[in-house]
Amino acid sequence: MALDEALMILSDLPVLRVYPSRFEGVIIGRFQKLEDEIYYKTCIEDGIEVVRRISGGGSVFKVPNGEINYSLIFPLKDFPIFLDVKKVYMLILSRIKKALESMFDDVKISIYPGSSDLVINNQKISGNAQARKYNKVLVHGTVLISINKDRMFRYIKMPREKYLARGFSHPEDFVTDLVTHSRRRYKVETICDNFIKFFDRWLNLSIYYDSLTAEEKSLVCKLVQSKYSNPEWLFNRRYAINIHR
């Protein structure tokens, strides 16, 4: 999460990050009340890290090697189309849908109406969120490849009205993963590579793999220490920090 914000601050070019999760953890949305969304005491007892992100949306349980994550950052001056929140979701979710269906061609994936979710039979396989800061737009999200629902719902709370609204009787039915519905099997790294190729063709950009600069690494460390590991930020109390380039 700190890296996404650091790249928003420092990068003047469009940025795409695609990567698998390597550790278990819980990420909550910018405006969520922690106690309403997760079993925080259980997270602490089990040594599960909890982080608040700068974008909206709901809570996420990170699954090691069971999901892929992406982050897209665009300078708004160069991409004014991304000023429209709903249009951003439709453009990017449509691209993710095509990328997934090109590999999992035996699965029908849909954009759930009025949401930022990708679903299979109304069951969520991908959640996505946005943030607008520093004259940039950040869109990031997760695609569930293979999950352990018992493990997920040990830490994540699911509001009753949320799963009932989609016609489910139990919170576990609200989410699913690709391997449950598809006969196709891929390494997460292969799915990540396919994502990159699809976004490259869509944006008509050349793929350029880069590493973090010393300035970016320094800012990431500063954000982690002063913000993302700060209880004031996590518990959504009054919080302010000045970041200088």
Confidence (pLDDT) at 210: 76
Q: What is the pLDDT of residues 107-149, one digit of tens each?
A: 999 999 999 999 999 999 999 999 999 999 999 999 999 999 9
What is the distance between the alpha carbons of residues 75 and 240, in angstroms, rounded to a whole number? 23
What is the distance between the alpha carbons of residues 175 and 124, in angstroms, rounded to a whole number? 4
Q: Residue 244 pLDDT > 60, yes or no?
A: no
Range 191-211 average pLDDT: 79
Confidence (pLDDT) at 238: 57
Q: CA distances (Å), 95 to each of 30, 92, 131, 202, in order?
A: 25, 5, 19, 8
Q: Residue 8 pLDDT > 80, yes or no?
A: yes
Confidence (pLDDT) at 204: 66
Q: Which CATH number fits domain 2-209: 3.30.930.10, 3.40.47.10, 3.40.50.720, 2.40.50.100?
A: 3.30.930.10
Q: How confident is the model at residue 79 (pLDDT cuts 50, 70, 90)?
A: confident
List the one residue out of 110, 113, 88 whose CA is nearest residue 98. Answer: 110
10 versus 81: the higher-pLDDT residue is 10
Cα end-to-end distance, the chain, whole Å = 18
Residue ranges of domains in the chain = 2-209
* pTM for the predicted model, two decimal places: 0.91
What does the mean pLDDT of the chain come to? 91
